[in-house]
């Protein structure tokens, strides 16, 4: 396993007046999964479901409250400086907002050169070669035109490509992409996703693609995690999930997404009532039960559902698929 996450919890303490503790926001509450080298997974969920916290915890930007992240066999629980440096040379991060992620006062060349300098690539020609290689791969050609440009001189799509070039220049084993295309125009989204996909295949990169846009997932990865209320509630192969979603939330989510078609205007869409739970005080039992049409009284609103393995990498956290429900 390249990355192994076990029962990961990241809670944020909430204080009033700066010191009175009033509780915790349980942004991430018990997430476990494994990722093989070269594997691409997508994490989908609505805002506030904890998907960005998952990215940040995996990247070591937020310390986990409990649980374990193992990368290449090493535990990243309480990392030392050396361990962090080792780790960060092996994971790349593609942020959501490319303009915010690039330092405005650095040229593209400097942005790409810095990680190389920090990680001890001393030979200038070697650095030059790798910068050229990265920019060519991301189709920022002719490279000379881009080297001395500053982020504000580039379009959104080009900025995002520089961010991806920066993430991959150290030849990492894992890239975490947090909504990499949500700020871009529809016409360039596909291009960026395809570039990322090509990189993933060519270098056997593992990629965690975090998004709220389910319809882009199929063009990127085979495996998908669905998050709700700080937990992964269903994981499956994308095709299985589309054909046969198990969790009522996944079902609702799939029903809410339209393909462009004029017929859509004629019918109403079925949407579950209510809103995602507050993570400050999540509901007892299954977190989806207040909105769920298949709620089993006395069970779903009392006890958290277990993770049920339905085979073929399809795992669902729902009481409907256990023996206890009858």
Partner 1 sequence: MRKTSSDSALLRIEGLRLHFKTMRGTVQAVDDVTFSLNRGRTLVVVGESGCGKSSLARGILRLLPRNVETYSGKIYLNGDELMCLTDERFRREVRWVRMSMVPQAAMNSLNPVVRVEDQVAEPLLVHKCVTTREEAYERAREAFRMVGVPLDFMTRYPFELSGGMRQRVALAMALVTDPELVVLDEPTSALDLLTQANIMNVLKQIKKDIGVTFILITHDIATSSELADDAAVMYAGQLVEFCDAGRFYLDPLHPYSRGLMGSVPTLWERKDLMFIPGQPPSLLDPPKGCRFAERCPDRFDKCEEEPPLTEVDVGHWVKCWLHR
Contacts of 312 (CB under 8 A, 6+ apart): 236, 237, 240
Q: Which range touches partner 1 (CB under 8 A), out of 123-131, 145-153, 171-179, 253-261?
A: 253-261
Residue among 259, 297, 312, 323 that touches partner 1 (CB under 8 A): 259
Residue among 78, 122, 186, 202 that touches partner 1 (CB under 8 A): 186
Q: Tell me how far apart the alpha carbons of residues 147 and 133 are, in angstroms, rounded to a whole number.
A: 12
Of 218 and 294, nearer to partner 1 (C-beta) is 218
Check residue 268 for interaction with partner 1 (CB under 8 A).
yes
CB of 229 to partner 1, least distance (A): 13
DSSP track, 176-232: EEESTTTTS-HHHHHHHHHHHHHHHHHHT-EEEEEES-HHHHTTT-SEEEEEETTEE
Of 23 and 258, nearer to partner 1 (C-beta) is 258
Residue among 14, 84, 256, 284 that touches partner 1 (CB under 8 A): 256
CB 175 within 8 A of CB 2: no
Environment class of 113 (CB within 10 Å of its CB; exposed 0-12, middle 13-18, buried 19+)? buried
Q: Which range touches partner 1 (CB under 8 A), out of 3-11, 75-83, 170-178, 257-265?
A: 257-265
Check residue 280 for interaction with partner 1 (CB under 8 A).
no
CB of 140 to partner 1, least distance (A): 13
C-alpha Rg value of the chain to the nearest Å: 21
CB of 47 to partner 1, least distance (A): 6
Q: Tell me how far apart the alpha carbons of residues 144 and 148 are, in angstroms, rounded to a whole number.
A: 8
The enclosing H or E element of 134 equals: helix 124-137
Check residue 242 for interaction with partner 1 (CB under 8 A).
yes
| Angle separating helix axes 186-203 and 124-137, nearest 10 degrees | 130
Q: How many CB atoms lie within 10 A of CB 214?
A: 20
Check residue 212 for interaction with partner 1 (CB under 8 A).
yes
Write the secondary structure of 237-264 as one string of H (helix), E (strand) and C (coil). Answer: EHHHHHHCCCCHHHHHHHHHCCCCCHHH
Q: Which range touches partner 1 (CB under 8 A), out of 80-88, 100-108, 213-221, 279-287?
A: 213-221
Residue among 253, 279, 295, 316 that touches partner 1 (CB under 8 A): 253
Of 5 and 250, nearer to partner 1 (C-beta) is 250
Q: Tell me how far apart the alpha carbons of residues 284 and 302 are, in angstroms, rounded to a whole number.
A: 6
Check residue 18 for interaction with partner 1 (CB under 8 A).
no
Of 20 and 265, nearer to partner 1 (C-beta) is 265
Of 87 and 249, nearer to partner 1 (C-beta) is 249
Name which of 21, 17, 45 is nearest 31 in CA terms.
Answer: 45
Q: Which range touches partner 1 (CB under 8 A), out of 20-28, 104-112, 141-149, 258-266?
A: 258-266
CB of 164 to partner 1, least distance (A): 16
Sheet of 223-228: strands edge to edge?
91-94, 174-178, 206-211, 40-44, 223-228, 231-237, 315-317, 307-309
Chain residues binding partner 1 by CB under 8 A are 46-47, 155, 157, 185-191, 194, 212-216, 218-219, 242, 252-254, 256-262, 264-265, 268-269, 271-272, 275-276
């Amino acid at each position: 396993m390249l990355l192994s996450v076990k029962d990961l919890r990241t809670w944020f303490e909430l204080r009033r007046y700066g010191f009175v503790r009033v509780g915790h926001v349980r942004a991430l509450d018990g997430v476990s999964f494994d990722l093989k080298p070269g594997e691409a997974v997508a994490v989908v969920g609505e805002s506030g479901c904890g998907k960005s916290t998952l990215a940040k915890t995996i990247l070591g930007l937020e310390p986990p409250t409990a649980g374990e992240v193992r990368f290449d066999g090493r535990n990243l629980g309480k990392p030392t400086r050396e361990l962090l440096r080792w780790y960060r040379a092996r994971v790349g991060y593609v942020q959501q907002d490319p303009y915010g992620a690039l330092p405005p006062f650095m040229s593209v060349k400097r942005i790409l050169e810095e990680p190389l300098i920090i990680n001890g690539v001393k030979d200038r020609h070697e650095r030059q070669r790798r910068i050229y290689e990265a920019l060519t791969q991301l189709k920022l050609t002719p490279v000379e035109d881009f080297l001395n440009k500053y982020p504000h001189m580039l379009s959104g799509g080009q900025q995002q490509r520089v961010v991806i070039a920066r993430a991959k220049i150290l030849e990492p084993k894992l890239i975490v992409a947090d909504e990499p295309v949500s700020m871009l125009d529809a016409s360039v989204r596909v291009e960026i996703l395809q570039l990322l996909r090509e990189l993933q295949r060519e270098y056997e990169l593992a990629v965690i693609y975090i998004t709220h846009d389910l319809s882009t997932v199929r063009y990127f990865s085979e495996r998908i995690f669905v998050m709700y209320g700080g937990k992964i509630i269903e994981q499956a192969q994308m095709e299985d999930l589309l054909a046969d979603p198990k969790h009522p939330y996944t079902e609702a989510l799939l029903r809410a997404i339209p393909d462009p078609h004029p017929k859509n205007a004629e019918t109403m869409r079925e949407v579950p009532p209510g809103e995602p739970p507050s993570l400050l005080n999540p509901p007892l039992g299954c977190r989806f039960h207040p909105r769920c049409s298949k709620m089993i009284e006395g069970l779903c609103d009392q006890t958290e559902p277990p993770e049920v393995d339905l085979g073929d990498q399809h795992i669902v956290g729902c009481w409907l698929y256990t023996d206890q429900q009858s």
